[in-house]
Structure 1
Amino acid sequence: MTIKLKISHLKALSFCALLLLSTLSMVSANGVGEDPDDFWTQFQHNALKTGFTYSSAPYSDPVVLWRGTTNPPQSAVSVSPVITDEMAYILISGGNVCAYNKTSGDLVWSSETKDGSLQTSIPAYGNGKVIVAVNDLYNNGYLFAFNASNGDELWNVSVTEGNFACPVTYFDHRIYVADGLKGGISTKYYYCYDDEGNLLWKHVNNDTAGFLWCGASIVEDYMIYPTHEGKLVSLYRTNGTFVDEVDITTDLSFSRSDLGRIRASVSYNDGYIYTTSEDTYTEGYIWKVGFDPVNGVFIDDGWGIRRGFSTSTPVVHDGKVYVGQGEHGYTGDLTCLNASDGSLLWSYPTDAGVKCSPVISIQENETYIYFTGAKTNSSLYCVDQDGQLAWQYNPPDDYGYILQGAAISDGKVFFGTDGGYLYCLEEAPHEAPMPDFTADPTSGYDTLSVDLTDHSTNYPTTWSWDMDDDGIIDHTDQNPTHYYDAPGVYTVTLNVSNVYGNNILSKTDYIAVEADWNPWNDPDSEGLPDGTYITLTEVIDAYNCFRNGTPAPETGATIDLTNVIDMYNAFRHGNPM
């Protein structure tokens, strides 16, 4: 029997299959399930360092859902965030770990680790814990674990007299991290701890400068990592037993002696390890090296393409390799290569080096790539699968340097800056805004100053305020201040709009303005310059009106004791009324 399906049915089935594969990807690749796809638990999403998710993200019209301030304020954010179902976590340069509500941006907790001038090791989340690798003021490395819900410190351990500068990899209750560049070329270690803070093993690496951004990838039973000098190493992930090693500069048919140095992590996709290297400030390679996930050995299959300086960990999806290129102080680009042979498909240029690793959101049949430029006052970019700019967001009033990339979760994209902020962007609703506002105060005496606060939803881009129902627009600011200089009861109308339309809200008889409460209000008064200043005679007259229960002669106002006291104080201090 032959079954025929319409193209639309095939597309729907294809996307369902992709979602299923996404859910099962970590099970099939590693034999152990991980967190849901919309969790971003560590650098480049997961222990495979895949860098992509089927969770949506803003694709055409980004808006800032919230901007979180670091605690302490103005502490640089030099790492990408970690995201769970409810929280967004960052490690700041001063050593604090900050947790924000993912939806509101409220700071939930901030916990101290070690004082340090710069923290560049990206944390990880697992088993209800936030794991961070930090340096103290002397560049000694420590591991800390915190309760992810409330920030309580669970444990900390001194690991090394060297520093930490590579991402933390977490998988199956194990933590992987390595010595940094402190001490120069010497013996350095890759460490494995359990998530209770116990050292399980450490693997020696001789004659190496150390591991700067050289994070590991977990593939089945194996832990794979790159060295600064250009080697790929495979160990049994549970006990650290050596399995295999390949020197990319000499051991492959496509080796290059001018590899330079590797300052990126490795990612795994469909039988291959991907990484990058940088030779000079403008030159470097993108690498694809075969790997047998069953036996844990490297295979002489793949390619090395000289494309330019890169510290970016490649993301591989749907037969394409996405990678950033460019050093500090130089221009850069996001490059897309054909995964089969490394040929260039397209390149999107930027005015700053792309040192970060791109991240990808796969939305039905569309792929969107997110990355940052490495400079002060830089931007977060989104390009589509054809290399066309979808949008660019430059944070206003934030001139901080942007070093690392972004994280994606639940329709949102998150990134931080050295200005001391964590940003959360989402797609604006594709509908007209709904107006709402409040005023403070809503009653008083003329001249009355009223502050308007906009509470409209669906992200309006224009505001038109009619403050007295005369059909004339009085203000176009979002939150204006208006002055009423005549008694009356006023209707306030707000018209808000965006590209999808507009809506209007009127609050009838919303503002009540009474006559000047100066009971005399007499321009012929001796209280110069215009009768608004109170004379002693007027204070005495006011007291007599209060005492005798008679109205003020000019306005007919009823005088109470409060009026008398206010008039006396105005006279005493020389203030107008």
Structure 2
Amino acid sequence: MDIFCGCHQWQYSEKANNTQYDGPVTANALDLNGVQQAINTYLENGKYYLMDITQSMYNTTKNDGYILTLDAENTSTADLKYSQITSTNNSWTNKAAVSAHYNALHAYKYLKNTFNRNSINGGGGSIISFINVAEEDGASMENAFWNGKAAFYGNGGDYFKPLAGALDVSAHELGHGVIGNTANLEYEGQSGAINEAYADNFGSMAERKNWYIGEDVTKTTFIPTGRLRDMSDPHNGGSSLNDPGWQPKHMSEVYTGSSDNGGVHVNSGIVNYAYYLYATAVTREKAEKVFYRALTSYLNRFSQFIDLRQAIVQSATDLYGENSNEVTKANEAFDTVGIYKEEQTQPAESYPENPGQDYLLTYDVDPDNSNTLYRSSVLGTSFVALTTTLMKGKVSVTDEGNFAYFVSDNDRIKAVNLKTAAHEESEVSPDAMWDNVAISRDGKRLAAISTDIDTSIYVYDFEGQQWAQFYLYNPTTQENLKSGGVLFADAIEFDHTGEYIIFDSFNSFVSTTGDSINYWDIGLIHIWDSKADKFADGEIVKLYGSLPENVSIGNPVFSKNSPYIIAFDYWDEGTDEYDILGLNIENMTLNVIYENTTLGYPSFSKLDNKLAFNAYNMDDEQVVGVIGLGADKISASGEASILVDQAQWPVYYATGTRVLGFGPNANFTASYKSGKAPLSIQFSDLSENEPTAWQWTFPSGTPSSSTQQNPLVTYNTPGIYSVTLKVTNAYGNNSVTKTGYITVSNTTRVENIENKIMVYPNPVKDIR
């Protein structure tokens, strides 16, 4: 994949800046704010392009590591058609293009100079920006977003000026790419609010002139302050969520609804204010390094506010010492916003192993053998032929090992009985329209890909006897905005719960003037809501925020017992490199399991101590290989060997029955732990493993009990009180009592305390 048409690999030298030879040159041009900016461009065959290859990240061998600005030509990402932005004389009158191009360079330099980070992905990946992005109906887009591959800028309208005109907005969007390539914080609830706050952090620190976000593009007719957000005062001139631009600054104001992915753009204000307090106490230079270390070393996809506090305190300890002022001020900042230190619960790590006998299924590729699917021992012995039906891909097996589902060569979904001696074969769907299939581990739902390029995954619920069609998209960092580019999925597999499907998909963004952007990536889609017992909303998260140039990933599979462990194929079209990678999706630890010469289609063994995969032997014949796995399940142990000759598409399975679910672990926090009567406290559930019912007990509180997940309770009488929470789901229950958790004081006593703590609820004005 070569995004830049005609711009071939070129060795940079200083001489090029002063000649008309092909290569990098510089220009001066006005941006959207009327400021003259120095930008780097590229000359080829008498035409100049908005492409910068002069930074240290540029790789001449791979032609990667450039900064490129493109024109979306007023198309939306649902049907993106883009073109190069060019000039015949190196003069640039497109101010939006100049702003986007300059801002991308500034963001790159900020990351490089401050953290020694080599571009957005940390590996010298290119930085791509699109201007003139429109809504699907062609209207001007009043937004900017990151979709995992590039930053996209609309031209504004009633609420915003052209979005590319704000450096902090650009650094914010590109910051999402950094987040996606580090902790990869899930864009929902508290983890999503942390994600948004980090992006604001990058935006504010890259611009560095104030604590505002978007003040250069926000119209006062939309937000009276003219600021999209204010990190120094998240209320931003408002008094409630009904006021545009208002955010909470304390956990007593936290939003607990479902809109905005659980308030990711709302509750980020609490973290923003904590950062502001910390940075003004220890300097921006120290604060940004502490927060960056937390992002890259301690936070993970599911981190909550209490995890953030712990990560920041630990990072400050790492950098400045346990008893340092930097640690003290970190604790004070989080105390001030109501994010308190709590005992943390750990979710269950793994399911119990399947107690049944384990087997291996492989697909025979011997042209002289009419049998196709074989069952064997896990050692590759004692083969039993199961069918002669030709198949389009690997089989999918229920967790109990009863049936193997597949798509036949005539595009029909079929299943073979693995339990009976006759191995009866049945037709699940007579419609000749399918390309791939997967069965949930409990056998209740089936997912399929059609032969049409319809950008969909179809799911059938056997109990409700109903199909649902889920459309695929690239998620963005803006509410209700879904980016296109996805053409179709290929590999699909249910997670252990049956609520999510992991899939790979082919993406293509079409250029009107050159090569298109094409790549495969991996996503997770929510297809079933167990609490509501119905189809889910189809929300998608991508495994990685961005991928290097020419790199694709696909064929993902879950480990048999650990829901946070996956393996997948990696291939680099530029170098023809193939690898099988193992990933811990909780902490994003990645290892190479095997250096292959083809796509592996991996499969974990029953004990997760081996991985089988497609390979070629020394005679260039297809075989199934196997390699041992380490205790982490994502690294190799020992050397690979041939398991089955003349075969492909291995699938391990076992025939036992087990419970695939975890009981909940109770935990909670409160917006205040002390204060004067009457004291109103917002309690927040922090329980792990998805409880479905809550029973709170609040001695002397009003109410004294609650079944809400996040209740509001008022204490009218001074005293020291305990709080109990019992949580339940289909797999069990758990309770926790925090003794002496709430201290309610009389007015006189608390007034004395408030005289000592003046930064909340009314921050003193001389803090900078």
Looking at CA atoms only, which structure, 1 or 2, has the larger radius of gyration? 1
| Superposed pair shares fold, TM > 0.5 | no
Which TM-score band applies after superposition, normalised by the shorter structure?
0.3 to 0.5
Tell me the TM-score normalised to structure 2 length.
0.28
Tell me the TM-score normalised to structure 1 length.
0.36
Greater share of strand:
1
